[in-house]
Chains A and B, each alone.
Chain A
Amino acid sequence: METNRNESIKKVLLLGSGALKIGEAGEFDYSGSQALKALREEGIETVLINPNIATVQTSEGVADNIYFLPVTPYFVEKVIEKERPDGIMLAFGGQTALNCGVQLFHDGVLEKYGVKVLGTPVEAIIDTEDREKFVEKLNEIDVKTIKSEAVESAEAACEAAKRLGYPVIVRAAYALGGLGSGFCDNEEELLSTVEKAFSFSPQVLIEKSLRGWKEVEYEVVRDRFDNCITVCNMENFDPLGIHTGESIVIAPSQTLSNRDYHKLRELSIKIIRHIGIVGECNVQYAYDPESEDYRVIEVNARLSRSSALASKATGYPLAFVAAKLGLGYGLFDIKNSVTKTTGAFFEPALDYVVCKIPRWDLGKFHGVDKELGSIMKSVGEVMAIGRTFEEAIQKGLRMIGQGMHGFVENKELVIPDIDKALREPTDKRIFVISKAFRAGYTVDQVHRLTMIDKWFLEKLMNIMHTSEELHALDTVAKDVKDIEGGVAALTELCRQPDNYELLLRAKMQGFSDFQVSRALGLEKRLGVDHGIKAVRLARKELGIVPVVKQIDTLAAEYPAQTNYLYLTYSGKTNDIHYEHDDRSIVVLGSGAYRIGSSVEFDWCGVQALNTIRKEGYRSVMINYNPETVSTDYDMCDRLYFDELSFERVMDILELETPHGVIVSTGGQIPNNLAMRLDEEHVPILGTSAKSIDNAEDRDKFSAMLDRIGVDQPEWSALTSMEDINAFVDKVGFPVLVRPSYVLSGAAMNVCSNPEELERFLKLAANVSKQHPVVVSQFIEHAKEVEMDAVAKDGEIIAYAISEHIEFAGVHSGDATIQFPPQKLYVETVRRIKRISREIARELKISGPFNIQFLARDNDIKVIECNLRASRSFPFVSKVLKINLIELATKIMLGIPVEKPDKNLFDLDYVGIKASQFSFNRLQNADPVLGVDMVSTGEVGCLGRDTQCAVLKSMLSVGYRIPKKNVLLSIGTPKQKVAMLEAARLLSEKGYHIYATGGSSKFLSDNGIENTRVYWPDEPEKKPQAIDLLHSKEIELVVNTPKNLTPGELRNGYRIRRAAIDLNIPLITNVRLASAFINAFCTMTLDDLCIAPWSEYK
């Protein structure tokens, strides 16, 4: 049969996006995986470059050849040289892949090797990326863009701003997620913003600001036959001025009339045709709320975070379709994979509303700016689906997982100036609106301060009114003493039709049972869990239960065969007919990406689903993160895109009546549900809930370790300053302090002396009987070792021991990890194995688990034990080439398994997992590592030896090999000694070393030539470290604070921050710095082996 596909394309190279970072997260794992699926379906050989080892796309069977290498022109050329692909796809790996592709095109590499760019031509990409060309291009078809001027100097920027009139917005060309951009109200702000912008790009754009306009996006698709569709449009809750990645986004648009909607749709198609996109692109508009005037903000000629969201919001697989179009197909050739009967040339009709809410983790960072603006700072997002806006947004506000219960019934926020907090948006703004309403603000008042469309505010006000009506009935709880009493009181109350209607309305507006319980005063009487239970039981008695609806792309116009589902109270009948055949296995997902839990748990969830399917069970997923592969409805037999709350999980389990539930592959969220699900007699597969509790509960776990004679750092939960001092007298400084009740800032801290301890406890924590503080001995200069393993009935079946490069004190999520361990004593390994075996036996573990150890000399201490998959499972599974989750899932399903015959000592290569930081997005945050995790992503690279793997992985997370000048500023004497060899190497290699006072003296004393530079607090002395950074003379900064006390941190803060703001590589740990320096001094790029995963045997 004749086909539109370009049949000369037999092998395709796809570029991934590398480590997860702010602005480039899991969405590209999803789009890349979809594209690879589309290619493989065609029998095309696929090659993938992506160092992000935790992704699904870098798993066996997704691509034919996988390279864990940096997505940079150098390495991509090497891979092209080796693999000789016929085509390359640039649109599926975010800005990283796009920039790399444009560079390869400019360098003539693609032409040299005859690699055809599939999909949108590079020229079209450049037209959208280069601001001036973009404006020119749209001028040609009379499409309005935001008036902007491209400048290449600060003076020119000031002149342009004067011409345009303040406020203006500054943008760096070719920068992802609005990096280096910002709003400026005056010249002073402008100058400081453009300096940063110039460090990211030689060209900076000054634009007139349109603050207050609506922001609307369209996802547009075009094939090479010029057929176009818009798959989805989305409207930002926040008006223009807040990066779309920072805004609550609603799909489809809610406040646009037909004329508005189709005006922008028509423009989108006109633009995509004129630019010549083949595949998918995103068009962002500013839209005047007072007329039909518009401006095009930007066009992204690639898959994006928004396109991933649009795919999940509509069920339309944008990346899959875009990949097929890149091969030459027409939209009319492709089937709609949801209905299976209709085609891909159509525009989805939604019969629900979707709400995306960003997840921030700003609390983790010292000193970071909390105001939202044109730079993205959020680390993840959730998508909530409902049939009312109220339902969707309340679901979403719970899903972000920051202790909020919805729009109302939250803990009281302390906001000194509500007006200011409304005017200047922060990560808490939506809750400020709630507080303002509660305080009597009207919709109009809030609108004036926030410029948020009144329709959204009216809907939020509906929620507030319902809350108030519920509160007015709180006498119902007056005499309630137990759950039964609560149920009786509530059912009695609802005998009144008005009250019944109120409860039903509350549920339709997305109130959780908790919110209802709190508003009615039941929580106060019965406590949290029993209050929820009382509401739940009463509700069921009253027949107020949610229904399951399908997402089918066509609003029920055609029967759909894919089970992509959500729950809602706005409906009477379920779309699903349940079999109750004891074949369903429910896997609980990991929720929003956040610092500490991201794509690695998505990988675990997907592996569990794959295994469940392979073993003939029905795989069921519950998750709500649109940036994931696990929420691709193709990955399982049933996907519930819904909350992972006790209430919602129980709603689903009562419908599914599953054979079993897996809580151990989704990180901490499902793990925390284990006990409560167990109480409801939910069949939890694998390790029992009781064992999970025994590992999670500090006291129980300690008692167990004592019983089996395993050591741990001394700790105590203390309730008074005297007790704390007594404890510290016993164990000595430093100590790790974890308050159970946090007033502000970081949740834990290391204190090195009595003054710090007192200051921290006074400032940050409230020590009392109700809120004990956990103080533990902090062991310095100890190695941290991880055990990732799978056990069956308490017997370890497979395991992986890995070693941190940094000493303990750097959070395991931030540390650089090597596997197999290269520098552990045999004795240490033996002891770790023995302890792990004992713990596994004691807790009767069946499934995945992780134990963290401290090792100093051969003294081993257990720090932590999690009876679930850990962050490092994908890394060790892929390096070891034993899929630990597959194994664990089989065990949990009760399928016989054999012990793998290979172990970590058989490997002839090394894997290094390095962390990706996103400090450049987090203005003013101190880029220093400590006991709290701050990295946003990771990579894992393989090498024949440690150096090779270190170098690849460091280059993968954005480090560059310096050419000439390195700045050393090393804290303690011990650290200085540790750094000596590396410094000597640098010197021998001809690097010029700059060093601050103490470090300079130390180096000189040891015969290493260096130039002394001065701290910012000695401004009269030259050369100034900061000046050398600004002049870009220094290409690598190693700055390690003596300790993490505020005073010490302040000292080096300006240097560290300047390095980040000026985009100069910074390392703040001597062990990592030494490893990196050692690697680039002993080998060059050319020495690095360019080999796919499969060649490491």
Chain B
Amino acid sequence: MRKVTLILDDGSRYEGKSFGYERPIAGEVVFNTAMTGYPESLTDPSYAGQLMTLTYPLVGNYGVPSTETGPDGLPVNMESDRIHADAIIVSDYSPAYCHWNARESLGDWLKREKVVGVTGIDTRALTKNLREHGVMMGKIVFDDEPEAEEPEMPDYGAINYVDIVSTKTPVVYAQGESRVLAADAPAEVIDSTLNEPGRKRVVLVDCGVKSNIIRCLLKRGVEVVRVPWDYDYNNLKFDGLFLSNGPGDPDRCEAAVANLRKAFTNPELPIFGICMGNQLLSKAAGAHIYKLKYGHRSHNQPVRMAGTDRCFITSQNHGYAVDSSTLSKDWEPLFINMNDGSNEGIRHKKNPWFSAQFHPEAASGPTDTEFLFDDFVKLL
């Protein structure tokens, strides 16, 4: 294994060894405290542009399942069709793996998808540094390569990662299959594709959607029309609007907010958002978004439903949060993070509009809040 060094913006250096694709890379260095789910996390589009550190040291144990796509058009085991994180940083990679469902090792998969993997890092020291200083940009360089080869540091906040990872054309999921339509497919074509009369239809604004969100909707018997993040869906025929998760700074997604404001003109239209969806809904509700010092990336984030004794363990992956105090008067917080008091979801006081900052679809992580999909589907 070739020796590599992770160099952070503050000049700190962490030595490790490469076990993935061999190329220098730069990105936002974040940490995730989940103890399982590296295939899910790596394929989660919200990790685009990031170098993901796992605090749990032993990684690769159960290998990687097949990356095949099922008849419904969704990857069977993954959260999207490819790895989105730019690197994975661990302490003790296990090349040997054992699981009935595994098809290859994590290292082989990374190599196949040209993604960097680093092992042997003191991930606890790295995490503490990120916790104290906040997330930082960093680069992974190969010790045996000249410095000239070092990658440029991108400006994470300035890049519209949503645009990079979102679908480019509408896709309809229904009747156990999926249809990819042309980017400029007319509204009538979209409306009639795979449409079963009487079935409820949800437009899903894809800011980098995880497959399991679509699965969670389909499982509940609705049809899903997945559209690009900036697509104006207001001319389509549908029963509910879903705003997906996605990477980066929500302030780069003004087009989506504008479409959402248009949708607000129908006070009966059920709207549900997750993660980036929560932030877009909040922006449309007038709220301000800020960047968290080091984000929430884990399977153990406690949230409380505002004004109740109901608490949930949630899966999270976000670097930005909604400033609840800036919500307009028609809106109120729906969930609150019990660790740091940050906003974990909002709802409209009258209309069927709500959202969660965490991931009720889990994958990876705890499944305790999947009932929010039931709540949403009931409203349709």
Contact = CB atoms under 8 A, between A and B. Distances in A.
Given A228-B368, A257-B39, A346-B302, 18 more contacts: A256-B36, A258-B39, A258-B40, A258-B365, A262-B36, A262-B362, A262-B364, A262-B367, A265-B367, A343-B338, A346-B300, A346-B301, A349-B34, A454-B96, A458-B94, A558-B131, A575-B124, A575-B128
A594 interface: no
Contacts of B40: 258
A290 B100 contact: yes
Contacts of B65: 257
A124 interface: no
Interface in A257-293: 257-258, 261-262, 265-266, 269, 289-291
Interface in A326-357: 330-332, 341-343, 345-353
A351 B57 contact: yes
A227 B122 CA distance: 35
B317 interface: no
Most chain B beta-carbon contacts within 10 A, residue among A226, A258, A558: A258
B131 A559 contact: yes
Contacts of A556: 31, 33, 55, 124, 127-128, 131
B125 A455 contact: no
B37 interface: yes
Interface in B26-52: 31, 33-37, 39-40
B100 A549 contact: no
Contacts, number: 162
A387 B57 CA distance: 6
Contacts of B58: 254, 353, 388-389
Given A331-B311, A554-B33, A573-B122, A349 B366 contact: no
A557 interface: yes
A810 B302 CA distance: 56
A229 interface: yes
Contact of B304 (A291, A332, A388, A458): A332
Contacts of A575: 124, 128
B156 interface: no
Interface string B310-336: 111100000000000000000000000
Contacts of B313: 229, 345-347
A557 B62 CA distance: 25
Contact of B310 (A225, A229, A255, A458): A225
10 contacts: A254-B61, A291-B100, A342-B338, A454-B98, A455-B97, A458-B94, A459-B96, A554-B33, A570-B92, A571-B124
Contacts of B21: none
A742 B91 CA distance: 44
A332 B338 contact: yes
A871 to B, nearest CB: 40
Interface of B: 14-15, 31, 33-37, 39-40, 55-58, 61-62, 65, 91-92, 94, 96-101, 122-125, 127-128, 131, 298-302, 304, 309-313, 338-339, 362-368
B98 A453 contact: yes
A455 to B, nearest CB: 4
A258 B61 contact: no
A353 B124 contact: no
A252 interface: yes
A85 to B, nearest CB: 28
Given A455-B96, A555-B127, A345 B34 contact: no
Nearest to B123: A351
A353 B35 CA distance: 11
Contacts of A348: 300
A227 B299 CA distance: 16
A256 B364 CA distance: 13
Contact of A349 (B33, B309, B311): B33
A781 interface: no
Nearest to A288: B100
A558 B293 CA distance: 12
B366 A265 contact: yes
Contacts of B100: 289-291
Contacts of B99: 255, 257
A476 to B, nearest CB: 25
B128 to A, nearest CB: 5
A229 B310 CA distance: 12
Interface string A526-550: 0000000000000000000001010
A676 interface: no
Contacts of B124: 351, 549, 555-556, 571, 575
Contacts of B127: 351, 555-557
B311 A258 contact: no
Contacts of B37: 257-258
Given A257-B36, A388-B92, A555 B310 contact: no
A572 interface: yes
Nearest to A556: B127
Contacts of B365: 258, 262
Nearest to A250: B58
Across the A-B interface, the 7 shortest Cβ-Cβ residue pairs: A258-B37, A458-B96, A555-B55, A349-B33, A258-B364, A455-B98, A555-B33
Nearest to A254: B61
B300 A570 contact: no
Contacts of A387: 57, 91-92
B338 A257 contact: no
Q: Interface SS of chain A: helix, strand, loop or mixed?
A: loop
Interface string A563-577: 000000011110100
Interface in A418-470: 453-455, 458-459
Contacts of B62: 255-257, 455
A227 B339 CA distance: 16
A266 B31 CA distance: 25
A455 B33 CA distance: 22
Contacts of B36: 256-258, 261-262
Contacts of B299: 347, 349
A571 B122 contact: yes
B366 A332 contact: no
B125 A572 contact: yes
A229 B15 CA distance: 36
B94 A455 contact: yes
A62 to B, nearest CB: 31
Contacts of B39: 257-258
A349 B300 CA distance: 7
B98 A255 contact: yes
Given A454-B98, A555-B33, A351 B309 contact: no
A254 to B, nearest CB: 5
B125 A573 contact: yes
A554 B339 CA distance: 11
Nearest to B132: A559
Contacts of B128: 556, 575
Given A332-B304, A557-B131, A225 B33 contact: no
A329 B97 CA distance: 43
A265 B338 CA distance: 21
B311 A455 contact: no
A347 B96 contact: no
A547 B127 CA distance: 16
A227 B311 contact: yes
B83 to A, nearest CB: 16
A227 B56 contact: no
Interface in A574-589: 575
Contact of A557 (B122, B125, B298): B298
Contacts of B301: 346
Contacts of A557: 31, 33, 55, 127, 131, 298
B168 to A, nearest CB: 29
Nearest to A453: B98
Nearest to B127: A556
A350 B124 CA distance: 11
Interface string A688-700: 0000000000000
B61 A455 contact: yes
B33 A351 contact: yes
A350 B309 contact: no
B94 A347 contact: no
